[in-house]
Amino acid sequence: MSDASSASMPDKRRKTPVKRPKGLAAKLGETMPVLGPMEWDFRWITSQSQWSVATGYEIGREVIRQANYILRQDHSVASVLHPAWRWFVVGGGLKELMYSVGSPWMPESSLARVLEPLVSSFPDFGKLETLPPSSFSRKPWVRSQAKRKQPKQGLLFQSQVVGEWLPDTEDDAAPRDLSQLLVWGPLDASYPCHKIIMHVPMLQQMTRKEAQHTFAKWVAGSGLFIGPGRSPMPKLLQLAFFRFNQGRVGLNQPGEFRVLFEPRNAKAVNKESSLFGAGQYHPIVASRYGNPNVLWSKSIKDVMNLVRPYAEQLAHMVELSFASRPTAPWTGKLRKIDERGH
């Protein structure tokens, strides 16, 4: 067959489809803006205590960012806050929310505790017109907070004790079984803490070894504790992956991230780097956490699972507050801003 005739014939050979990224990573790459190095390069941090402070600050900051994305439905500008959020802050909604920090029985308490490190870092949070600056821009505050005495972590047990019986009426009969009078005794726990209630079936008296085995089995199956072996991926590093992925479409984001932090390229990202901070990124460069693609995918999912529920709760509160705002001379400014599409 001649070249001319073959050129006119349709090509029936099976063509390999172009592989495109799917899932959350692809969505972040396609719908959100690219973020600069200060959003995902935390090598400036010089100690574990600073790392912990920056983690709390940045997670609260990401909750506000994601809440504004939900409100705006336009992710083209990373730092612009929705008018409803500004109303929520200036109108006292945020201040009211933060009152629930010390009230763990309130449904808003967990959200308030997540935002507390961020909100408490500014004397007047209500004057911020844009997203709070990165922790890198707040280094003096991070370092001062890191010097404060941190509560020790531990596993504490709250005992049950016999409480005082007080009849509600004259006809009330005292309980016959002392177990009906049991109440939770005092617990000297460092705040904040996670409260875990576990009932151990005592059909017959256990030996100490049996009790330890029962508790160890429950711990292993609870998913609440870190297992043995390698250290878990630090949340701040997971957040770095999450932010780096935004606005970057492609299949090799883990590889691009790793190459940036190789010794030959690291200074091109952020010239301020400490031994501790560089050490946090070194396992990524050395691929010590296993398959980089699996690690990347799991990390950004973990961040979304952590941040998104709080962001949705916050966005809902902001919407309700904005919808019920009273007519005031300065609300017109917010309406004008809204009409411009921001």
Both tokens assigned to 181? 């009078």
pLDDT tens digit sequence for 22-38: 688 888 888 888 898 99
Q: Are 51 and 280 in contact (CB under 8 A)?
A: yes
Give the DSSP letter of residue 27.
H
SS (H, E, C) 94-135: HHHHHHHHHCCCCCCHHHHHHHHHHHCCCCCHHHCCECCCCH
For 130, other C-beta atoms within 10 Å of its C-beta total: 11
Round the average pLDDT of the chain to a whole number and report it.
77
Both tokens assigned to 105? 């029985």
Q: Are 40 and 240 in contact (CB under 8 A)?
A: yes
pLDDT at site 64: 92
Please report which confidence band the pLDDT of residue 51 belongs to, taking 50, 70 and 90 as the band edges: very high
Q: What's the number of CA atoms in the CB half-sphere (13 Å) around residue 294?
A: 5
pLDDT tens digit sequence for 57-78: 999 999 999 998 888 765 555 5
For 341, other C-beta atoms within 10 Å of its C-beta total: 7
Helix or strand or coil: residue 162?
A: strand
pLDDT at site 328: 46
Enumerate residues 6+ apart whose C-beta is below 8 A from 301. Answer: 24
Q: Are 217 and 187 in contact (CB under 8 A)?
A: no
Mean pLDDT of 9-20: 46
